[in-house]
Amino acid sequence: QQQVKQSPQSLIVQKGGIPIINCAYENTAFDYFPWYQQFPGKGPALLIAIRPDVSEKKEGRFTISFNKSAKQFSLHIMDSQPGDSATYFCAASDAGGTSYGKLTFGQGTILTVHP
């Protein structure tokens, strides 16, 4: 199966809160898991990505946690700010195979951070 399931569909937090977005995948051939951030009227932009040989990756206030055995990964946003309000997509691909970088996306999470 090629599906990537993402939850929740929407999320509202206060400034300084730590929103968590979860994704689950089925295809064990996936070996590259990026998160994209999309602002209204713009294309998705790569935020952070992880490969399955590590369980966690941090870049600034953004952290990916990865559980290979459960086939799940999640995005945590520390000290969230109103400027983080956007739609977030998880994705997966078989970067090392013949998938040529084709991404399978989750359904997206609309994050709203209130001041």
Number of amino acids touching another protein (CB under 8 A): 27
- Candidates 86, 106, 111, 113; binder of another protein (CB under 8 A) is 106
Q: What residues pair up with 45 in beta bridges, in sequence order? A: 37
Residue 71 burial (CB count, 10 A)? 17
Q: Which of positions 34-73 make contact with another protein (CB under 8 A)?
A: 34, 36, 41-46, 49
- Candidates 32, 48, 52, 65; binder of another protein (CB under 8 A) is 32
Residues that bind another protein (CB under 8 A): 2, 4, 6, 9, 32, 34, 36, 41-46, 49, 89, 93, 95-96, 100-108
